[in-house]
Amino acid sequence: MEFLGVLKSGSINFIPALPLQKLDTIKKLGYGLLNMVVMLFPSVFWDSSVDMFGYVINDSSYRAGRGCVCEGVKVDVP
């Protein structure tokens, strides 16, 4: 069982007890598959001063796949 599953099961007792807000958040967290895609571009077209960029779909009808995080890594290929 992974860490989130252990927390969701309630089999760990925290002393002092976790606040209700944290317990509610743990109950609402979901988990599933993570798909990773590597894309190489001939030149950097994103803001090279940031490490990551992404987007989130603001539509609650999507059950999964509502966001994307991209890590901008510049690789010099000969």
Query: What is the per-residue pLDDT across 12-62, written as a single tens digit (0 to 9) for each?
Result: 888 999 999 999 988 888 777 777 777 777 777 777 787 777 777 777 776
Query: What is the per-residue pLDDT across 20-29, written as a single tens digit (0 to 9) for each?
Result: 999 998 888 8
CA–CA dist 64, 31 (Å, integer): 9
Across the chain, how many H-helices and E-strands are there? 2, 2
